[in-house]
Structure 1
Amino acid sequence: MTSLGRLLRTTAFKLIAAYLLVFAVFAGSVIAYLGWHTQRLVTRQAIEAIENDTRFITSQYDRGGINRVLQVVSRRSRAPDAGLILLTNFSGEPMAGNVLNLPLNFLDKAGWREIDYVREEDAGSRPSRALVHVVFLPGDFRLLIGRDIVEREELRQIIIRPAVWGLGVLVILGVAGGLFVTRRVLKRIDQMTATAETIMAGNLSRRLAVAGTGDEFDRLALSLNAMLERIETLMAGLKEVSDNIAHDLKTPLTRLRNRAEDALRTAQGDEQWRAATEQTIEESDGLIRTFDALLMIARAETGQARAGMVSFDLAETVSSVAELYEPVADEQGLDLTVSAPEPLRVHGLRELFGQALSNLIDNAIKYSTPSLPGERGTIRLMLERRGEEACLTVADSGPGIPEADRQRVLERFVRLEASRTQPGSGLGLSLVSAVVQLHGGAIELQDNEPGLRVVIKIPLEAGSSPDSAS
């Protein structure tokens, strides 16, 4: 396709052409109306002048008969600014006037019409155009009175000819401007296309150019660049997750295979076979839990679970989950306390939020268990209203997390070195973060001095503020 063909096929050129056509139609309509109205005004003036002359001459007949009319017509026909005037007898022979070369039988019918005529003093010249009125007088005399309308035709030419030239220049300039604007638009689009092709080839770091003009192309480029940033982040996260899955799941799978192979080689008797089978099932359950956590995180991050959201009391959920873990915490030498003094209703998934809270409490129990006999650790759950948000705090007395690692531990399969001695897959806090984001909230890890403080903020359900409740 040629360069001109590409320009003509662009949407920008088509829009400019459409606007130009509409403008030309409107401009032509206005010019046509002005021309028609001007001609109508000239014609109306001619008709009024003819009617005045007709009334005057017919009144002269009432005063002095045909002889007086003949005198008036003769005198008026010789005036320098006289219009068309002619008096004939019943057979059409001129008696007085200034009109020659009338068509045969023209005066046989009374009324208004347009004629081509030649004045008596302009014999031999080209005919002119006139509007005339034929009147029958008593005695079958015929009176023709008219006005030249050449000025009307000239006026029409004065209006139409410049208008046609103006419209022609307008179309030419419009097409030229359209080609210029379209070329600039096409240049921006070609740049975007080239960048998109580079990105599709695998270079996710490329971004669309922003001219800084703030026009629609800049807004589009900024939106697409933000989308590309998100895609690049997701792709990097996918690669990291894939690497982590390959690394973190390879060990339990290898251990599972080695135990099965060891059982085949060394197991003797039903007891050994049973023990090997139980170990295999235990390892398989751990893998299933890991994959379940991954699926739950994926559903939360993509918003697939949003359809099942309902209104529930967050305080009741916190109290119920804490009640389940109180015996476990007490057995590990921990005091689990809960402070949820008022109902706080949120819109979300109660079971999924309960799972996230269970992960936080489980982590707190796992890393806050006292190392010396007789010591007691603490885990505190506090739920309170802060403006239009519900603020949930889970604080423990464990070793805590260094500030540099607090954001990183929210990623999948991330386990700090201090955590390697404890069982787990590194997905607990990732699930918590995904669930919080699904509910439109925010999560922050802070220092509890000592220990870790996890602060979660969730928007309250509309209409659940104290003012509306009262």
Structure 2
Amino acid sequence: MHFERLSRALRSTAFRLSAIFTAIFILSYVVVFSVTYWETTHALISQRRGAIEQEFAAMKNRFLRGGMEAVRRAISEESTPRSGFPVFALVKTTDGASFGSVSLERAEIGWHDYPEANIPSIKGEDRDEHVLSAYAGKLADGSLLLLGFDRYNIVETQEAIAWAFTWSALIMLFVAASGGIFVGRRALYRIDLFNEKLREFEGGKLDTRLPVRGSADELDELSVSVNATLERVEGLMASLRQVSSDIAHDLRTPLTRLRQRLEAASANARTTEDHADAIRDALDQTDAILATFSALLRIAQIESGARRAGFAAFDLSGTCNSVLEAYRASLEDDGREVTARIEPGLTVRGDRELISQALSNLIENVLRHTPSGTPVGIGLHEAGGRVTMSVSDEGPGIPEAERNKVFQRFYRLEGSRTTPGNGLGLSLVLAVADLHAAETEAKGGERGLTISISFLAGMPPTGGEP
């Protein structure tokens, strides 16, 4: 089990990201090491060479003032191997004689390395790392003077730098790998918890939600998004159960009445006219049932969000005026005074047909459920970055406790059950508003009712939620 969890941690995205960033850091580390190694070596060699060149100039001055004997004394005094900064010297005179603190078979003018030089070393040191780096030139009498230094200290510094960077890299790799495994296992713990919660949701526990720790990390953001989806699914399932119950309740009555009428007609109809009346009544009942199913299908289509793909910016002011003109004759024939307060040039993004249908349903709601002669108001205005479309009347209104219920499918007030309709008109209005991320509100006093839909003003970006 432990090996399996470790294997999952090593395959996790968190560990892979840690490995990628570690590799990038190691590459940067190698570049830093190379630059540090080269710059340090170059600085040490330049420092030693500068000192040797200064010493060479001093030796030439000694030769000019005191001859070869002065050079010999200087070499004897300053060539102290293994203390401070030793200078190794060799003089080859014009007559073939040589003296100094180091012996060489050959010596060339300028800077050269002489690995064959026998340089004194401390016991235990690697003699291969003792290399003479020397500068040779001519004295005034033509004799060859060679001054040099042992590169051993520089090699030691180079090795120290290399070991320091190597151990640092190894420690860093260990810490990075351990951190990657730790982070990966923590992430897997939360993923396992997410999977457990989702399995509970799949098993029918629809109120299950993913835990949110409040750390505002990417997993918290994922939890919030998934929880919103789960809440939406729970709401749709609850709506589906409610719709199923409502269909069973509200359609059972007309279907039962239809069957009873047909049975009565079959038993009692004696003339052709009786049969024709029974058929006409059955057709009316069937049309009402089909209208209910059509309304339910339209609401389901709207709630699916498929119509969002066709969203476009349009002139809502013009649309409201067009719908009002289509109903003006019916409203005036019913003795209703119509008041229109529609601000011109207001634009929203959405489905023009659906918003027109929602406004039509609000107007028809007034026509069906308020007495003839009741004044009607159509409004459209912009305020606070939102465009609000409203339909108001001065009818009997709706009790405050039932105002939000009128948007439920098949819900009808007690006084409206004898009027034509199926209780789906305002449900469609709510579905259209939700599709457009609009806010729907029903408000009023002792008398009268105003139902409003508030859209975001202007033209929001296309794609996703409007």
TM tier, smaller? 0.7 to 0.9
Q: 1:442 maps to what in 2?
A: 439
Distance 2:212 2:118 in 1: 74
Distance 1:440 1:108 in 2: 89
Distance 1:394 1:185 in 2: 55
Q: 1:88 maps to what in 2?
A: 92
Q: Out of 15-24 and 198-207, give the one that drifted further.
A: 15-24
Contact 1:395 1:448 in 2 (8 A): no
The reply on whether 1:323 has 2:328 as its aligned counterpart is yes
Question: In the TM superposition, what is the alpha-carbon distance from 1:85 to its structure 2 partner?
Answer: 1.6
Q: 1:225 maps to what in 2?
A: 227
Distance 1:329 1:303 in 2: 37
Q: AA paired with 1:338? A: T
Q: 1:247 maps to what in 2?
A: 249
Q: 1:385 maps to what in 2?
A: 381
Q: 2:464 maps to what in 1?
A: none
Given the superposition, is the C-alpha separation of residues 403 and 278 from structure 1 closer, same or farther in structure 2, using an over 3 Å criterion? same
Superposed CA deviations along residues 155-190 of structure 1, whole A, max 9, x for unmatched, are 223333233223322332333333333332322222
Question: In the TM superposition, what is the alpha-carbon distance from 1:42 to its structure 2 partner?
Answer: 1.5
SS at match of 1:38: helix
Distance 1:95 1:308 in 2: 100
Given the superposition, is the C-alpha separation of residues 242 and 198 from structure 1 closer, same or farther in structure 2, using an over 3 Å criterion? same
Q: 2:462 maps to what in 1?
A: none
Question: In the TM superposition, what is the alpha-carbon distance from 1:232 to its structure 2 partner?
Answer: 1.0
Q: 2:115 maps to what in 1?
A: 115
Contact 2:382 2:457 in 1 (8 A): no
Question: In the TM superposition, what is the alpha-carbon distance from 1:267 to its structure 2 partner?
Answer: 5.3
Q: 1:190 maps to what in 2?
A: 192
SS at match of 1:117: coil
Question: In the TM superposition, what is the alpha-carbon distance from 1:350 to its structure 2 partner?
Answer: 4.7
SS at match of 1:79: helix
Distance 1:110 1:362 in 2: 108
- Where do residues 61-80 of structure 1 align in structure 2 (5 Å cutoff)? 68-69=67-68, 71-80=69-78
Question: In the TM superposition, what is the alpha-carbon distance from 1:124 to its structure 2 partner?
Answer: 13
The reply on whether 1:409 has 2:410 as its aligned counterpart is no
Q: 1:174 maps to what in 2?
A: 176
Q: 1:468 maps to what in 2?
A: none
TM-score (norm 1): 0.80
TM-score (norm 2): 0.81
Structure 1 unaligned spans of 5+: 370-375, 463-470
Q: 1:97 maps to what in 2?
A: 100
Q: 1:311 maps to what in 2?
A: 315
Distance 2:267 2:123 in 1: 136
Distance 2:20 2:435 in 1: 47
Question: In the TM superposition, what is the alpha-carbon distance from 1:134 to its structure 2 partner?
Answer: 3.9
Question: In the TM superposition, what is the alpha-carbon distance from 1:296 to its structure 2 partner?
Answer: 2.8
SS at match of 1:359: helix
Distance 1:391 1:95 in 2: 111
Distance 2:122 2:91 in 1: 19
Among all aligned residue pairs of Structure 1 and Structure 2, give the percentage whose two residues are the same amino acid.
Answer: 33
Given the superposition, is the C-alpha separation of residues 442 and 166 from structure 1 closer, same or farther in structure 2, using an over 3 Å criterion? closer
- Where do residues 156-175 of structure 1 align in structure 2 (5 Å cutoff)? 156-175=158-177
SS at match of 1:378: coil
Question: In the TM superposition, what is the alpha-carbon distance from 1:272 to its structure 2 partner?
Answer: 4.3
Question: In the TM superposition, what is the alpha-carbon distance from 1:19 to its structure 2 partner?
Answer: 2.7
Contact 1:383 1:391 in 2 (8 A): yes
Q: 2:206 maps to what in 1?
A: 204
Q: 1:373 maps to what in 2?
A: none
Question: In the TM superposition, what is the alpha-carbon distance from 1:328 to its structure 2 partner?
Answer: 5.2
Distance 1:457 1:210 in 2: 32
Question: In the TM superposition, what is the alpha-carbon distance from 1:440 to its structure 2 partner?
Answer: 4.5
Question: In the TM superposition, what is the alpha-carbon distance from 1:327 to its structure 2 partner?
Answer: 5.3
SS at match of 2:374: strand
Contact 2:111 2:133 in 1 (8 A): no
Distance 1:121 1:9 in 2: 54
Superposed CA deviations along residues 296-347 of structure 1, whole A, max 9, x for unmatched, are 32343344334255324255135314313225524xxxx3433336536343
SS at match of 1:107: coil
Distance 1:459 1:124 in 2: 85
Q: Across the two proteins, how many residue pairs are aligned to each other?
A: 444
Q: 2:427 maps to what in 1?
A: 430
Distance 1:342 1:174 in 2: 64
Distance 2:39 2:360 in 1: 86
The reply on whether 1:394 has 2:389 as its aligned counterpart is no
Contact 1:290 1:425 in 2 (8 A): yes
RMSD: 3.6
1:11 to 13, 21, 24: 13
Question: In the TM superposition, what is the alpha-carbon distance from 1:131 to its structure 2 partner?
Answer: 0.4
Q: AA paired with 2:395? A: S
Distance 1:440 1:379 in 2: 30
Contact 1:344 1:385 in 2 (8 A): no
Distance 2:168 2:341 in 1: 80
Question: In the TM superposition, what is the alpha-carbon distance from 1:130 to its structure 2 partner?
Answer: 1.6
Q: AA paired with 1:426? A: G
